[in-house]
Every structure is written in structure tokens, then in C-alpha cells.
Amino acid sequence: MTTIYDFNVTKPDGDRFPLYHFAGKPVLIVNTASKCKFTPQFDDLQKLYDQYREQGLEVVGFPCNQFAEQEPGSSHEAESFCQINYGVKFSIFSKIDVNGNQAHPLFDYLKKEGPFEGFDEENINAKLLKLMISDKAPQWLHGDAIKWNFTKFLIDREGKVVKRFEPVHPIDDIKSYIEQVL
């Protein structure tokens, strides 16, 4: 059975990084961007990492420029931006595509194992996100495509997807899921 440990990713310096290095640890995988309205989530992600890393949590970011070109720089620039502006100490990997023909196989796997559960129509931020996607990236609106930057996937200690969280999902709710896999 496939897990995230079957995939390799690339560091900003070009070195290959096999995800089996995270074996036995819960992992929160996030597609990121430096110029997005959700970019301040780096603060919350770093806080999650600080709070739970002693218990094994890894947080990993994958910069992506597929959503309104909100990650225009290089992989090194994206990594530096996170470190300088948000004090990010968790791993930021090379820029990738998360949707379409050039999507990284890791994200194809994540989308298959953590399908889109729909927009919470009671949540105003979810409604606004849906409207923005309809306007800026309608090709990603339907199906299991990543809808926007800062979609998160929680992985358990066996390398399997536990839950997908959309960009507007409250961080406090994500904490409760993290605590279940620690």
C-alpha cells in the first residue's frame, strides 16, 4: 500500500529528499505562497510546529505558483521569505505544481487519499474562498483538485492521509486532529 514514504521531493538547493525520512512521525503537508491573503498562516503553522515538534510533528511547506501567481520567485526566495518574515523553522521544499498534468506525484496521492469534502456554506470565509476560486481559478473548483494556497494534509505516523483541511479551516480544529495522531 502506498504512503507518503514512497515519494521523493526536492529541497530548494536541488538535493533530493526521500519522505521516508519522516517515517514514524505525523506530518502536516501544506502548499504555500508568499503573496497570498492566507500567507499569514505561516505564523500559525510555525506555532503548531513549535508546540508539537517535541512529540514528533513535522510541518512541511511546498511553495506553489498555480494560484494567481502568488509565488513568483525561486524556491530559494520562497524559503527565505518564510524564514525572514515569519520565522519559519520547518522544512520548505522546492516549488511544485499541485494540480494539472505537471502536478507532483505526492500531491496526486494526497488528493486521492484526502479528497475535497466541499465548502462549508455556513462559513463566510469558505463562501468567499469559493467565490474567489470561481473567479480566479475555476478549473480547480470541482473535483478533488487543490482549491487554493494553504491547503493542508495531516499524515499519521504510518504515512497515511488522515484529513485534508482547506485554507479557511480554523487552526484550532487542526490542532485536535494533530493531537489524535501524536
Report the catalytic residues: 36
Query: How close are the terminal C-alpha atoms of the chain, in Å?
Result: 22
Task: Give the number of other Cβ atoms within 10 Å of residue 24's Cβ.
Answer: 10
* Residue tagged 486532529 (cell numbers): 177
Distance CA 31, CA 177 (A): 19
Q: Are residues 48 and 28 in contact, defined by beta-carbon separation less than 8 angstroms?
A: yes
